[in-house]
Each structure stands twice: as structure tokens, then as C-alpha cells.
Structure 1
């Protein structure tokens, strides 16, 4: 056992002692010195009862830090296990965007109970953020915006900046936005501009016109805007132009990273924010839904081999190359899937572009298929001394590579058109079809060339 393991064990024992004594300050003493990720890991390794008891006892600010560190689904579980009054106290320490992410993952009854304990204004902000479609500016923004009437003076803003108002923390360093009488943003002032202007000047004298985005602006468009402009944040407006909140560059970057991670996990059959601290039955049920479907797909692929048992028995060397042909073709297909998924996320292709995508993939697949076919054909020829075996294996790989990239490039677009999740379904379809096609091509070509192979 390493020194690190011993330290973890000692901290866990101290933490459990504090929990059993119901000493919230002692719990904080154990967790406060640790990075948030280490503190959360220590808590999640506890039995569920002790973990929930720890969150009930610890100071609200510390609990909020742990909730913010956790993935949204786990954070929702932690909050839902608190009594509503404590849960509301913890959420009140977080920004409205994090509050909305957590509450959105909770069961409706639990969410209503917690929102009922929150201040009316904050609860209304959370309900408003949850109502916006996922992946839009409205869903990613914070409801709090640092705004002033355009008639206000520079001194007014500076006094607010220098105040000890706790609510100011919610603005997270936003630039001040100027709004008109109807609440529409009409200007923005940089912090540098505030510091260099006379305190008696009106904001309207130093403000510049802001670039704003609608609450309905999708994530792909937001990514492009922040790529083109060096803004740290943008005002978000409702359909009528009223200021709805503020969107930070960090929120967009985090959303893009989460989407990429989620798509990668779905391609591997992991759905949702699975963590090993979750109930075993829940984790098992989620994985079985994927694995059960794969059993059927693999039976179909195996049936192709069964139909050519005589060919395999006559030329046993073919069996060595079957997994190579299917695997190499699958790799080529996954490259095509990756490119299509990226172009879909960037808005560069649509389902209507399927034919154009297919033509481009076929040309790449043909070139790579021929090159790979020649390589594996030479290997097969050199190994068994039979050029016809090399031709069969090489031709099968070439044709299967073209098929694989065609499927990989087009299937995500077709699934998108049908309203299905292309990230989750493209992988299994590609794997099954390339396996079946690879087995069929190798075995059928071998059957036709049987007199030349034996």
C-alpha cells in the first residue's frame, strides 16, 4: 500500500469519525484543505448513508463547492437526498446556470420541493433557464446580468464594484451593460473605460453598442461568434430585445467539451453521467440496454461465417485474415464517422448533403482500400506462398473499406434525418455491417477461387 493510499485511508477515517459525531465543522476541517476534486472523490467513496449525512452536516458553501464539482446527474442526486431547506441553502451559493443544470436533472417532485424553499426571484430564474432548449444561449447563460440605466454615472458603477454586496459575486466579472427604459441592452462599457473616465460622466457618453445573441442561438453559432471575437461574455436577449442574462465564453467552452465527451461515451455504449458511486442496479441496467442489442448484431455477423463452414474447413488460413479485414475496415469507417460528426456539430453538413458526403468518402475509401488491400495481399501471399490467397484477401479488404467509409460518412446524416442520435447509433451499425460484409466478401471470393487456393 502506497503512502497516498495510507493518506486517503486516514482522511476517510477522520471524515467518518466527524460524520458519526455529527460535527459539521470537523467535516469541513477534513475537506477544506483538499482540492475540490479530491474532496469529492473522498465523499463519493463513502457508503451512501454516510455520504448523504456528511452533506447534511457540512456548511452550505462547502456543500455547494462539491455540488458544482460533480457532474450534473450526480450533483442532482446529492441535492435530492438533502432536506429541501438545506438543498435550497446549498443551491443559493451557486450561480443560476449551475442551479438550473442541477434542478433539471432532478425528479419533478424533488425539484418542486427545493424550488419552493428558494427565494421567489431565484426560483423563477431557475424555472426560466430550464425552459430554454438544451444547447442554446438561454440554457447556457446566467440569469444575472450586471446592468445599469444608461443615465447612470461612472461613479455609480465604481461604487457598486467596490461594494461588499454578496450578490455582486453572481456577476462573475461581467462588463456593465446599459439598458433603456424597456430593459433592452443599448451599450456596454469596459472596465478599463470605467477606470479612465471621470466619475461624473454618464455611461451613455462612454458606452459602445453591444453585440448580443438571442436566447435561441444554438451552441454551434455561439462557438463561431466567440472564435471570431475576443469577448469574455455577451448579453443574451429575449425575442422582444429585453436583456435576459449574460453568457460567458467559459460556459460555451464547457458546453462544447461536455458535448464532445458525451458523444464519445455514447459511441462506446455509456449513456448519461455514469459514475461508479451510482447504484449498481442503475449502472447495470444502462449498460445492458446496449450490450443486449449487440448480442443480436453479433449473432447476425456470426451467421455469415456459419454459411461458409466448408470454405473455412478447406482453406483454414482464411480464418486468420477474417478479423483483420473486418477490423481494418471498421477503423476506416470510424474515421468517416468522426469527420461527419464533427461537421454536423459545426453545422457544415446537413442530412440533405448525404449524396455529396458519400461521393467524397467513396473517393477516399477507394484510394485507401486499394493501398491497404495491396499491403495485406502481399502479407498473405508471402505467408502462404499463394498469390491467389493474397488477391482474395486484398480485394475483400479494398471493397470492404469503400463500404465502411460510405456507411461511416452517410449513416450519421440519415440517423439525424430520422431524429435518432447519430453519436450513439452509428458505431453499432458500422461495426455490424462491416463485420458481415468483410466476412461475406472474404468467404464468397474464396469460394469462387477455391480451386486456386487448395
Structure 2
């Protein structure tokens, strides 16, 4: 019976129990049994003070390992509540790319306070890397790598690896980099670990280097990195500055993770989360404020679209059935617009569409909208006729549908390109603009069409 009860204990309950007991060893062993998602969920269920106690109970090295399993924003939230000295000790132990990612999520003052308490040499290195855009090679690279001079022999490298096993165990050794000199690390070649191990010791390191040395600039963007790894079958690529000096390496796995995070943020922004990031562990006031920044402008735009109804009060009074079908017309047209937005966003991401393709997109979406509109118009005419028996309302709704669907498709397809050309975020603004435009057109077209038909028949 006791075993059955224990099985029902949730990970966060057990984690919090161990924190309360301040059992460091049991705590260390338990959290390492959890998957990344289980750990993130367990930590998010804990109160802020318990989260702080959790990381302070662990050694800085273990605390760093724990934070690396959490989303960057969640790790940053925990660090900013700690004393600067304690946070600095943990950041010192993070992998170099994780240091940059977590510090970028902190306020400038909090990040500066932590850097001030870090090892001076490490802090200077981090300050240099924080200057890079997070979605560039410089922002994604790790600075833990192994490099050897041109004149090194294979036996020298293997001897060095064996004599520094503990130190190099923290380095993701996949390639050995050949440089001009240790003081002046101009990249000359790349040696695969397999080739190093299988080559006689007297052979020069440079002679087993890959023939074509591939590298990327420190300012190369995420799209460039993604395309590089799509073309090349490497697990990492060296990063160099303008002079060709080796700065670090970018791992394929880190690029895939960054691409996924960017897609997630775009989805969040498309859903109205302006910052592209929100967790329920954040303070309620912060979350509410961020959502209101999107909802308040949307309220104003929606009110503007709905105001057109007031221009046709007499028509609605005469044909009250219209009130039932106005949301249907607007909804169908809005869905058509959102489909077009999704296609444009996808083509922009793949590089298949540019702002200069505006007229091409306009024509393509107009033709698709016309075809969809005809089908939906006929179906809506039949539905209205069967539902109300009013032929005039059926004609008004049936004729309006193709027009509004075309508008929705064209606006939805073109707006992301226009916003991209204006250097604005298409994921953030496309939704409200498309919704407002389509609703306005749908309400106006149906009501104007009905008014005209009633006037014609007397």
C-alpha cells in the first residue's frame, strides 16, 4: 500500500519536500532522474523562495546543470532573485552559449551586477559575446574548443588530451582546430576526432585536416547557419572574425534549438503575446500588462470595424435575420485571411517570397479567394434560403461572400510582405490588421448589398 501511495506523489511535491529537508545529496540525485520537461514543470510549481533555496542548496556546478535544463527565461527569473555573488558563481559554471542566453533574458542592471561578481577574465569574455545578436553565430557559439598550432604532431595532441582528461571533459570535443599559432589563432584547418585517433603519431596534424575548411562569420544570421547545416554534414562549424581568427564553434543541435525557439516566439506573437515569451510562473501583473498591450489596440480596431453597423440600423431593423449571418460572413472571410497570412509567413521564412513579390502574391491570392468565394457563396445562399426563406437576404449574403473572401485572402497574403518591407514584425501585426479590414468589409458589403436590394424591390 505504501508503494502505491508513493507512486502518486508528483515530482514537484517530492522536490519541494527535499528542499524543505535541505537534503543536498538526495536533492542532487533526485533532480537528475527527471527529464527536462519534468524538471521545468516541477520547478515552475514551486514558490519563488523555494526555487531560490533549491539552487543555493546545490553546488554552483550542479545548480548550473539544473538551470541549463530549464527554459532560459525561467532560469533568468531564478537568478535575478539571488544575491549577485551567488548568481555569479552559478553563471560562471554555465556553458558559454548558455551564459549569453540566460544573461540576455535579464534586465541590464541585474546582468551587470552578476558580471561584476564573476571572475574578471570570464566576465570580459561574456561581455564580448553578449554584444552579439542572440540569433547570430557570435550569439550561439560556444567558446570551449580545442586548438593546436600548425607544427603540432598527432602524438603531441593525443598526449595533451590524455594529460588533461578532467579539464577537457567539459569541452564538447568533436573536432580539433588547427591554427596559425596559439597566440594568433588564425584558422588553418579542421581535424575530425576519428582521423586523429586512427593516424600514426609522427604525422603532422595539418596533413590530416579536412581539405576544404568550412567556417562562418561571427555575424552570420540564424538563417545562414540553418542553410549551412542543411548543406553540410557537420555536427559543428568554426566561427571566425573578419581577420579569420577562430572565436568559437556553433553546434548543429544549438542551431536547431534556436530555430525551434524562433518559431515558438513567432507563434506566440501571432497569438498576441507581444514579447514572444510568457510563462505562467511570471507575476500576474506582468502577464496581464503584456497581453493588454495587444488587446487594447485590437479592441479599438474591432470597435472601428463594428461601427459600420450603426450606418445601417434601418436595414437591420427591417431584416433582423441579417444579425445572425453577419458573424458567419466575417468569420469565413477572416479564416480565409488567416490562411493567406500563414502561407505568406511560411514563404517569407523559406525565402520563397520577398516584399518585392507583392503584386504576384496579390494575383495568386485573388484567384484562390475567387474560387473559394464562389463555392462558399453558393452554399451560404442555400443555407440562408433554407433557414429564413428570405430570398433577398440569401442573395445579399451569397453575393457578398465571394467579395469578402477575396478581400480576406488578398489582405492576408499581402500584409506580411508589406510589414516585412517596413521592417516590422509580420507575426505581431498581421492578425489585427487582417481581422479589422475583413470585418469592416464583410459588415459593409452585406449590409450595403441588402440595402440596395430592398431599395430596388421597393
TM-score, length-scaled by structure 2:
0.91
Which stretch of the first structure deviates more once superposed, 27-36 or 143-152?
27-36
Which stretch of the first structure deviates more once superposed, 244-253 or 4-13?
4-13
Residue 93 of structure 2: SS of its match in structure 1? coil
- Give 1:211's match in structure 2, choosing from 207, 211, 214: 214
Distance between the aligned counterparts of 1:333 and 1:429, measured in 2? Answer: 10
Partner of 1:66: 66
Distance between the aligned counterparts of 1:96 and 1:51, measured in 2? Answer: 23
Partner of 1:414: 418
Partner of 1:344: 348
Q: CA RMSD in A?
A: 2.5
Partner of 1:120: 120
Distance between the aligned counterparts of 1:299 and 1:284, measured in 2? Answer: 21
- Give 1:260's match in structure 2, choosing from 254, 263, 267: 263
Matches within 5 A, 1:263-342: 263-270=266-273, 271-342=275-346
Cα deviation digits, residues 227-262 of structure 1 (max 9, x gap): 122121111111111111101111111111111110
Distance verdict in 2 for CA 1:216–1:160, change over 3 Å: same
Q: How many residues align?
A: 452
Partner of 2:104: 104
Q: Which runs of 5+ in 2 are unaligned?
A: none
Which stretch of the first structure deviates more once superposed, 383-392 or 284-293?
383-392
1:95–1:142 CA contact under 8 A, matched in 2:
yes
Distance verdict in 2 for CA 1:170–1:358, change over 3 Å: farther
- Give 1:187's match in structure 2, choosing from 173, 183, 189: 189
Partner of 1:173: 173
Matches within 5 A, 1:3-22: 12=12, 14-22=14-22
1:40–1:70 CA contact under 8 A, matched in 2:
yes
Q: CA deviation at 1:16?
A: 4.1
Distance between the aligned counterparts of 2:5 and 2:246, measured in 1? Answer: 51
Partner of 2:408: 404
1:74–1:273 CA contact under 8 A, matched in 2:
no
Distance between the aligned counterparts of 1:371 and 1:147, measured in 2? Answer: 65
Q: CA deviation at 1:263?
A: 0.7
Distance between the aligned counterparts of 1:95 and 1:285, measured in 2? Answer: 33
Distance between the aligned counterparts of 2:403 and 2:16, measured in 1? Answer: 62
Q: CA deviation at 1:428?
A: 0.9
Distance between the aligned counterparts of 1:166 and 1:308, measured in 2? Answer: 79
1:71–1:273 CA contact under 8 A, matched in 2:
no
Q: CA deviation at 1:91?
A: 2.0
Which stretch of the first structure deviates more once superposed, 347-356 or 208-217?
347-356
- Give 1:430's match in structure 2, choosing from 428, 434, 445: 434
- Give 1:248's match in structure 2, choosing from 225, 243, 251: 251
Matches within 5 A, 1:86-165: 86-162=86-162, 165=165
Distance verdict in 2 for CA 1:393–1:172, change over 3 Å: same
Distance verdict in 2 for CA 1:36–1:218, change over 3 Å: closer
Q: CA deviation at 1:336?
A: 1.4
Distance verdict in 2 for CA 1:79–1:379, change over 3 Å: same
Distance verdict in 2 for CA 1:338–1:167, change over 3 Å: farther
1:392–1:445 CA contact under 8 A, matched in 2:
yes
Distance verdict in 2 for CA 1:407–1:8, change over 3 Å: farther
Partner of 1:229: 232
2:239–2:249 CA contact under 8 A, matched in 1:
yes
Q: CA deviation at 1:186?
A: 1.8
Q: CA deviation at 1:46?
A: 1.8
Cα deviation digits, residues 132-178 of structure 1 (max 9, x gap): 12321111111223322122122233344445544424432331121
Residue 264 of structure 2: SS of its match in structure 1? helix
Partner of 2:365: 361
Partner of 1:48: 48
Distance verdict in 2 for CA 1:17–1:229, change over 3 Å: closer
Distance verdict in 2 for CA 1:150–1:423, change over 3 Å: same
1:388–1:453 CA contact under 8 A, matched in 2:
no
1:136–1:217 CA contact under 8 A, matched in 2:
yes
Matched, 1:382 2:374: no
Distance verdict in 2 for CA 1:439–1:111, change over 3 Å: same
Distance between the aligned counterparts of 1:224 and 1:374, measured in 2? Answer: 46
